[in-house]
Chains A and B, each alone.
Chain A
Amino acid sequence: MTATKAKSATAASEQSLAKPGKPRYVLRLYVAGMTPRSARALANIKQICEEHLKGHYGLQVIDLYQQPVLAKGDQIIAVPTLIKKLPMPLRRLIGDLSDRERVLIGLDLKPKQ
């Protein structure tokens, strides 16, 4: 099961393999203006990334007020939304990411109970 999953994500992992065995994370955080909630979300994800994915993640922050067109492409409804584009599967983490447990589950850094 894990083998096939790995195969399907090879293209992505090939170019992103900084350290073998650890997939590269491509994350995108959508916010609407620099509200306290946005700031909280950004701080939370940065902390988690540094703790768990140090060295093999990319995080992009998009303010929808500045670039409203992008909301359509990534199907953003709620803000803040963190999209885990890679590794597959795609996942949307909505909210200010303060529920650490759920964020870790959502990023596949912790198995679902």
Chain B
Amino acid sequence: MKHNEPKNVTRKPRRGAELLKAPTGIQGLDELTGGGLPKGRPTLLCGSAGCGKTLLAMDFLVRGGVESGEPGVFMAFEENTEELAKNFASLGHDLKALVAQKKLALEFVHVERSEIEETGKYNLEGLFIRLGHAIDSIGAKRVVLDSIDALFSGFSNVAILRAELRRLFRWLKDKGVTAIITADRGETGLTRYGLEEYVADCVILLDHRVDGQMATRRLRIVKYRGSTHGTSEYPFLIDESGISILPITSMGLKHEAGTERVSSGVPRLDAMMGGKGYFRGSSVLVSGTAGTGKTSLTAHFAHAAAARGERCLWFAFEESSSQIIRNMRSIGIDLEPAVRRGTLRFHAERPSLFGLEMHLVTIHRLVNQFRPRVVVIDPITDFAVLGGGAEVKAMMTRLIDFFKLQQITALFTSLTAGGAFMESTEVGVSSLMDTWLLLRDMESGAERNRVLHLLKSRGMAHSNQVREFLLTDHGVELRDVYVGPSGALLAGSARDALEAQEKAQALVREQEIEGKEQELERKRQALEARIAALRAEFEVEQAEAAKTIGQDQTRVGVLAGDRVQMARLRQSDAIARRKTRKQE
């Protein structure tokens, strides 16, 4: 035994570190705490009024407790059971049913200062008895005391109270129940009465701050003995489905990168990206000044996704869904059937309605609910109004990470202010994007024309050419941009005019060539005529020559005949001999 001791000593702290945890049932909080609150120990939940303490505590009992089969006691000091039941009915909790099923016990503790007269020494054994009775009656494993400050307002003997609270926490621990004790935020410390001194295991702080007229609830784990935990402030959202917290910073660059492609909805744009479109799960930025067609390009993308039968979630921060549908119909994109089928969902909201973090939480929640394959955020620029550059960038990073982890193809639009450097985005997120399309206005010849640049597209061959971007009644059309004689880009009517001019010049040239060809033909014909004439002349001469030759030959023959005859008449032998010699 002694021999083994050192081994045990080294092991023990590691085992002790893995303390048992009670899941809270609150989205995100379990992730933050690595599994939940310390099991069998009290946790202090502090925060100012209205920041969601009661709700979080009740969620801990109702969601976490019921899910893990642990009944719970909710001891309320501020609301009676009727009020609690009513308040939580709107959040979808049927407390009365849970009470009837013995999964929950509600214990209302009424403390009224005006009724109380302190006449000597006392303790809070009555509270212990009540709590103990409630715990035993349903075999509770979880306890909530909400909020403990009420005791301080009811009793004036702080020394007794402090001693009794210390005893209470000890007692809860001995009972082995996982407890949440809520307390109001103090001016200087975490709680008004310094309760954090008694609860040493886990302290969670809730906060409800207003930044630039924007109220955001945040949660921070101040302390969690024996466990690692997220230390930042995490925003959380309260809505009809309870609390959700977003431990976004826990995400990293761990996403899988696939090779699947998704169409942009514009064939010519796909062609610019090797004919296939964006990568699935990539992030696409469409930036440009006002009215350059960002939303139209986005609509194509959403429409294409819907046509593939993929769910698409569209966050619209500037237009209502019906306005988008109407406007897109004017360029021949009908989004309404997809909306009716449920493949396309709009979430239109003024960005100034919430803080930055809250938007993030909302997006998370909606994405988790709707499970889209394609997400559109139009535009991200509006977030810049809500926070500083670094904040917005941090938010976008988390958002992009989130989408990538889920293999969601995300398209963001960004409005570039007129006059600003075009290749910079208002929120400075271009470096986070995989594909960046820049839409630009070109002003020339008293008109504005749109052009599209494919500034970057990671991991694929892509065209470096500028395209003219036309909004027609059958959607977006990309055309080659005309490069004028001076090398300048021309688009719109200037391009048309120049094209016409070129056409005319070409025609003239064509005519010239034709003329020249005709001239040549004429010359050839003339030449051939002359050749024919010469040949005819030659033939005549030839015929004549043949004639004279014939005559001459006859004449020669006649002369020779005459001579033979004369020779024969004179000395025929000699002539015959000469003749044979001649022949030899």
- Asked whether, in the complex, the Cβ of A98 is within 8 Å of the Cβ of B120, the reply is yes
A37–B129 Cα gap in the complex (Å)?
Answer: 17
Cβ–Cβ < 8 Å partners of A79 in chain B: 122-126
- A32 near B121: Cβ-Cβ < 8 Å: no
* Chain A residue with Cβ nearest B107: A72
Inter-chain contacts of B122 with A (CB < 8 A): 37, 78-81, 94-96
The residues in B between 481 and 526 inclusive whose CB is less than 8 angstroms from any CB of A are none
Number of interface residues of B (CB under 8 A): 24
**Interface residue? B155 (CB, 8 A):** yes
CB pair A81 B120 closer than 8 Å: no
Min CB gap B96→A, angstroms? 17
Chain B's closest residue to A30 (CB) is: B126
Known A-B contacts A64-B125, A77-B111; A96 and B130 likewise in contact (beta carbons under 8 Å): no
The distance from the CB of B514 to the nearest CB of chain A, in whole angstroms, is 111
The minimal Cβ–Cβ distance linking A59 to chain B, given in whole angstroms, is: 15
B109 touches A (CB below 8 Å): yes
Q: Mark B154-167, 1 if CB is under 8 A from A, else 0.
A: 11000000000000
Given known pairs A32-B129, A68-B133, A92-B115, the reply for A75 and B120 (CB within 8 Å) is no
Q: Is the CB of B119 within 8 A of A98?
A: yes
**B332 contacts chain A at the CB level, 8 A cutoff:** no
Segment at the B interface, from A1-9, A15-23, A49-57, A100-108: A100-108
C-alpha gap A75/B124 in the complex (Å) = 12
A94 near B119 (CB under 8 angstroms)?
Answer: yes
B127: CB under 8 A from chain A?
Answer: yes
Please tell me if B132 contacts chain A, counting CB pairs below 8 Å.
yes
Min CB distance, A97 to chain B, in Å?
Answer: 5
* Chain B residue nearest to A64 in the complex (CB): B129
Cα separation A71 to B118 with both chains bound (whole Å): 18
Docked complex Cα distance between A93 and B325 (Å): 70
Name the residue on A nearest B150 (C-beta): A77
Note all chain B residues with C-beta closer than 8 A to A105.
Answer: 117
Output the residue of B122, B126, B132 with the most chain A CB within 10 A: B126
- Name A78's contact: one of B110, B123, B132 (CB within 8 Å): B123
CB-based nearest B residue for A99:
B119
| Interface residue? A86 (CB, 8 A) | no
- Measured between beta carbons, the chain B residues less than 8 angstroms from A92 are 115-117
Contact with B along A64-90 (1 / 0, CB 8 A): 110011011001111111100000011
A77 touching B115, Cβ below 8 Å: no
Residues on the B chain within 8 Å of A44, using CB: 120
Return the CB mask of B122-159 against A: 1 if under 8 Å, else 0.
11111101101100000000000000000100110000
Q: How far is the CA of A80 from the CA of B127 in the complex (A)?
A: 12
A98: chain B residues within 8 A (beta carbon): 119-121
The smallest beta-carbon distance between B164 and chain A, in angstroms, is 9
Interface residues of B in 153-193 (CB under 8 A from A): 154-155
Q: How far is the CA of A80 from the CA of B120 in the complex (A)?
A: 9
Q: Please report which residues of chain B, range 85-110, place their CB below 8 angstroms from some CB of chain A when the two chains form the complex.
A: 107, 109-110
Q: Is the CB of A103 within 8 A of B119?
A: yes
Interface: A42 (CB within 8 A): no
Produce 1/0 per residue, B326-364, CB < 8 A to A.
000000000000000000000000000000000000000
Q: Are A97 and B110 in contact (CB under 8 A)?
A: no
Chain A residues near B123: list those with CB within 8 A: 78-79
Which residues of chain B come closer than 8 Å to A65, judged between CB atoms?
129
A95 touches B154 (CB 8 A): no
| Interface mask (B423-453 → A, CB under 8 Å = 1, otherwise 0) | 0000000000000000000000000000000
**Beyond the given A37-B122, A79-B124, A97-B120, could you list 7 further A-B residue pairs with CB under 8 A, ordered by the A residue number?**
A41-B120, A64-B125, A68-B132, A76-B126, A77-B111, A96-B120, A103-B117
Q: Lowest 5 CB-CB distances: which A-B pairs, in order? A: A95-B120, A106-B117, A96-B120, A76-B126, A98-B120
Q: Can you give 10 contacting A-B residue pairs, CB < 8 Å?
A: A40-B120, A64-B129, A72-B130, A75-B110, A76-B129, A79-B122, A93-B119, A94-B119, A95-B122, A96-B119
